Structures are given as structure tokens and as C-alpha cells.
A and B are shown apart, each in its own frame.
Chain A
Amino acid sequence: EVQVLESGGGLVQPGGSLRLSCAASGFTFSGYAMGWVRQTPGTGLEWVSSISGSGARTYYADPVKGRFTISRDNSKNMLYLQMNSLRVEDTAVYFCAKGPYSDSSEWFDPWGQGTLVTVSS
């Protein structure tokens, strides 16, 4: 069964850092692009970042560019999101999700259960 499972969320002060992890199983991890999507409580979905299967290509939403870094360790079947200079508006549930191809994430399936990041003093 194809699965992705996030971890690493928590409470952090504004300006702080956090690293989210996503463990993948059930598929050849290096063969697929992956992405992060966040959802603010009570509101909709916002794409955050994507990375190609090899890790050579990365893409970011403007609100997180320069602060967040997506990466992957294909030897460990792990996806990461390093979040620095966190802001109150980064508070959200962060989902890890698998893309259908190696080069681009396009649509997402499946998604993990999400991990909550709360940025507050």
C-alpha cells in the first residue's frame, strides 16, 4: 500500500525553526516527485513546495521562498521541509503528498494525515 506519514509538527515561537519529515512506503520513492501542501484551520488548501524525484528541481510558493527548504533522502525514503524564520501566518496543518511522475508533482495522491505547526509566542 502506498503511504506517506508526516511528523515533526509542534509549537514554535515567531522567528523560530522547525523541520517536518515525511516517511514514504509502498512505492519506489526516488521515482516520484513529492510536495507539501498546508491548510490553515477552517480555510482552504495552499500549495507550499514540490521537489522532483531526483531532488534536482525544487519549487516554492512565494510566501515561503527564502525561508523554507524542501529536500529528500532517497536512500531513506524520506521527504523533509526545513522551515526557518517562522511567522504566525505559517500556522497550519502541513500535508506531505506524492506526485504521479518523477519530474513534477502535478496532482497529489496519496496525502499523509497532516502535522500541525503552530507559530505563537
Chain B
Amino acid sequence: DIQMTQSPSTLSASVGDRVTITCRASQSISSWLAWYQQKPGKAPKLLIYKASYLESGVPSRFSGSGSGTEFTLTIRSLQPDDFATYYCQQYKSYPYTFGQGTKLEIK
């Protein structure tokens, strides 16, 4: 199975900050990576697919990059609505696997 490791596990930031979350795969997954945002008690919401493609309706302050084994999710100019938990997911091969999550907290 492909292991996905996110860092950091928790990130404290302020409104207006630029933040970056990293996701590393245990083997190359090309660009077969998605990013999700989840708020407490809610379903995950797709932000990014194919590593860098922004899902329709997602604000342009979100961006994804990377290929192979290292990927990043960047949020430019944090907004109050962005404080949530973020997950990466590889879909290069079954079983699909998720990172353990990064909780973005208000500093």
C-alpha cells in the first residue's frame, strides 16, 4: 500500500497569512493526488485534484503543486472560513489512501 504522510499535523496561523501543507507519498504517484478540506461534523470537500487542478467553485487562494512523491497545498491570505482540517489522498492505485490530516488552527 502507498503510505501518505502529511506535515505538520497541526498548524497555527493568523488571518491573512500564507500557509503551506506538505504531503509525501511512500512511492511515486505521479500527479494522482487530491486535497480535501473538512470542518467538524461535516463531510470532506474537494479542493484540488490531479495535484494542481482547482475544483470549480474553490477560491483561487488555494493552490496545489508537486509530482512524484512530494506535494504541497498552499493557502494564500488565510480567511476565517479556512480554519479546518486538510487531507491529501492518493488515487494512483488501490487501496486509495489518505494522509493523517493537518489541522489548521487560529493563532
Contact = CB atoms under 8 A, between A and B. Distances in A.
Interface of A: 35, 37, 44-47, 50, 59, 61-62, 95, 100, 104-114
Given A47-B97, A50-B96, 18 more contacts: A44-B100, A44-B101, A45-B44, A45-B101, A47-B89, A47-B98, A50-B94, A104-B91, A105-B91, A105-B96, A106-B34, A108-B44, A108-B89, A109-B49, A110-B43, A110-B46, A111-B43, A111-B45
B95 interface: yes
Given A47-B97, A47-B98, A106 B46 contact: no
Contacts of B43: 95, 110-114
A107 B51 CA distance: 11
A110 to B, nearest CB: 7
A45 B95 contact: no
- Residue among A37, A95, A108 with the most chain B CB within 10 A? A108
23 contacts: A37-B44, A44-B87, A44-B99, A44-B100, A44-B101, A45-B89, A45-B101, A47-B89, A59-B95, A62-B95, A100-B49, A106-B32, A106-B34, A106-B91, A107-B34, A107-B46, A108-B89, A109-B49, A109-B55, A112-B43, A113-B42, A113-B43, A114-B43
A56 to B, nearest CB: 15
A59 B94 contact: yes
A111 B34 CA distance: 14
A109 B46 contact: yes
A107 B95 contact: no
A108 B36 CA distance: 9
Given A44-B98, A45-B98, A47-B98, A108 B46 contact: yes
Interface in B71-107: 87, 89, 91, 94-101
Contacts of A106: 32, 34, 49, 91
Contacts of B46: 107-110
